[in-house]
Amino acid sequence: MENVEKQMREHVKKLLAEGTVDVVVGYEEGTLPFQTAPCFITDPDDAKRLVWNRFCSVNLAKYVHDIIFGHKESQKRAKPEERTKKTVGVVARGCTTRSLIIHLQEKQYDRDQVVIVGVPCTGFVANKKMSVAVDGKEIIACSATGDSLSLQTKGGEKKVSLKEVLADNCLTCRFNNPIISDVMIGEAAPPMPDVEKEYEGVEAFEGLSVDERWAYFTKEMDKCMRCYACRNTWPSCCCKACFVEQNQPKWVGVGIDETDTQVFQFMRMFHMVGRCVDCGSCLEVCPMGVDLRKFLKKLDKDDFQLFEHKAGEAIESAPTLSVHSEDDKEAFIFEP
């Protein structure tokens, strides 16, 4: 990863120095030993801040959209002939490029407004899994070596298998290499170890009775405190006004009433049909540990089986609910 990091810094520095981009979105060291944070580089000399390691978990596509959209909004008062475009560079692994493809499919910005610095990915570490590995003790230092992770706590050091703490979405990822890129860093990453188990949890869920599935859903939703972290981090959330904050019409209450919470999550998930790239961002930011992935992977499985569609797999393949084909399967309508 050190070689990838070095090449990435060199390419980003060159992009900024040549004026190819106005800003580059990447990762830098966070304030904790096992975390990184999004950073926004505008000075070529600041490219040295960029890092690439097992803790780069956030899907950066969200920031690309927000920067371009914010600049576009700021141009509204300018004369048409004086308006400018913002060009954004972004460090992107496979799932990030899938989100960028969805942005392009939905005409959120033009292709020439984003320069994609593609990086191969072999998975990121899930913070919650690390915490479990050390029985909740405070981690004061962390380092990855080969296939193991060394976790230093006040009680001592513990080594764990990397596979034990990798995010579930990474272990089963089919798209761990960038789908599109303008600059490709390093060599392609090998396939992830559990690709064939992508829908294992979903199939077990499908095997439950309707009542058992509903009981599981309500149990998980009871944890939700409506902080909207999952919505705010979702890279394909591009609405100017969210349905949960609208009052004309009012779709759902803003409290934590059981029904309102369930409706919020129902509607949010259906907005994600054909647009969820399984990047794991919502799981990482959820403070309550709601099992959102199981429901999203169920929708992803149905999307693939019924419409042969994978979110962000190709620019030509638009999100399922935004297109219509006379060849769409219809048996599930009459035989649910």
pLDDT at 297 over 70: yes
Rounded percentage of the chain residues whose pLDDT exceeds 70? 99
Same domain as 59, residue 189 = yes
Same domain as 156, residue 243 = no
Mean pLDDT for the stretch of residues 97-108: 96
Q: Identify the domain containing residue 156 by its residue range.
A: 127-165
Same domain as 42, residue 190 = yes
Rounded percentage of the chain residues whose pLDDT exceeds 90? 73
- Rounded to two decimals, the pTM is 0.93
Amino acid at 85: K
Same domain as 43, residue 176 = yes
Which has the closest alpha carbon to 236: 57, 92, 40, 100? 100
Same domain as 175, residue 45 = yes
Confidence of residue 37 (pLDDT cuts 50, 70, 90): very high
Confidence of residue 336 (pLDDT cuts 50, 70, 90): low
Helices (H) and strands (E) counted in the chain, each on its own, are 13, 8
Same domain as 333, residue 263 = yes
Same domain as 213, residue 141 = no
Same domain as 141, residue 234 = no
Residue 153's H or E segment, with its range, is strand 148-153
pLDDT at 33 over 80: no
Confidence of residue 5 (pLDDT cuts 50, 70, 90): very high
Cα–Cα distance measured from residue 50 to residue 36, given in angstroms and rounded to the nearest whole number: 10
Cα–Cα distance measured from residue 39 to residue 62, given in angstroms and rounded to the nearest whole number: 13
Same domain as 182, residue 60 = yes
pLDDT at 97 over 90: yes
14-23, 46-55, 135-144, 221-230: least confidently modelled range: 135-144
Tokens of 130: 């690390």
Mean pLDDT for the stretch of residues 226-251: 89
Counting the structural domains of the chain, the total is: 3
Q: Is the peptide bond before 80 cis (omega within 30 degrees of 0)?
A: no
Strands 36-41 and 23-29: antiparallel
Same domain as 254, residue 178 = no
Same domain as 212, residue 191 = no
With the C-alpha atoms ordered 62, 65, 68, 72, is the resulting torsion angle positive or negative?
Answer: negative
Indicate the burial class of 116 (C-beta count within 10 angstroms; 0-12, 13-18, 19 or more). Answer: buried
Q: Residue 75's pLDDT is what?
A: 92
Strands 114-118 and 183-184: parallel
Q: Residue 335's pLDDT is what?
A: 66
Amino acid at 44: P
Q: Residue 176's pLDDT is what?
A: 95
Same domain as 221, residue 109 = no
CB-CB contact of 222 with 291 (8 Å): no
